[in-house]
Structure 1
């Protein structure tokens, strides 16, 4: 599925790190930064999460909630959150349903080996559930600046 700016964000339901059900509808009336990343506790993903963490108060003041999404399990998310003191929820998209709905579960290649995985992408969603920005060229060390620009 191709998600486009100016259109409604695809509805989703997934489990967070506490095994609580989270859906897009939970954020009705709020702005949401929905960021997809490949894997917990890897260099780029850690840099991105920590940059969002370090700028979390700026997001709150601007009226945003943050949700991270990866194919990692809830248990792995707990370890990642605790290790880096992340103040936002991470969704366990083990069946890739959310990443497929947003069109970020794609074929990738590393060292000539092809595999399926998340292509790092962030969707900024407004209070009405409309996608207002899509960031595909994520700067993991300055991602907050990209989102809040």
Structure 2
């Protein structure tokens, strides 16, 4: 099982689609954020998932949250994918699946498919919501609803 609600996220550093370093400790303490792990760029389910985050990106930013996608694809694959689908958020290249292991995101289907898991993380770095499902269409909705509930408190 992956990390649980109430746990602190592990610190990590990965390259984004532009080759820039993304360091999680530079976000913690500043704003809440959504991290979604997805299997692979250009696959139908993953394209549906990233585009749903794209289409609701403004709602996330209006609520003060950052959105970050992570898969094991390379920076150059992420760059082409982000450009083709006009993605306004960072895609991080976890080529060696180190961050996936830090978050304990399990593979599915006899370990052939990387897991699909979404986290809502508080400004302080505490996990507020975890959603683990291969149903790509639900991840953005779960994250946005959890973020809205957080802002209502």
Q: Do both share a fold (TM > 0.5)?
A: yes
2:104 corresponds in structure 1 to: 103
What does 1:1-149 align with in structure 2 at a 5 Å threshold? 2-28=2-28, 29-106=30-107, 108-109=108-109, 114-137=110-133, 139-149=135-145
Q: Output the aligned Cα RMSD.
A: 1.5
Structure holding more helix per residue: 2
SS at match of 1:118: coil
Aligned partners of 2:31 and 2:122 also within 8 Å = yes
- Where do 5+ consecutive residues of structure 2 fail to align? 146-153
From the superposition, tell whether residues 60 and 138 of structure 1 become closer, same or farther in structure 2 (CA, over 3 Å): farther
How far does residue 116 in structure 1 lie from its aligned partner after superposition?
Answer: 4.5
After superposing on structure 2, the runs of 4+ consecutive aligned residues of structure 1 that deviate more than 3 Å are: 114-117
Counterpart Cα distance in 2 of 1:84 and 1:142: 19
Aligned partners of 1:105 and 1:116 also within 8 Å = no
Matched length: 144
Counterpart Cα distance in 1 of 2:83 and 2:96: 24
Structure holding more strand per residue: 1
How far does residue 140 in structure 1 lie from its aligned partner after superposition?
Answer: 2.1
- Where do 5+ consecutive residues of structure 1 fail to align? none
Question: Structure 1 length normalisation: TM-score?
Answer: 0.90
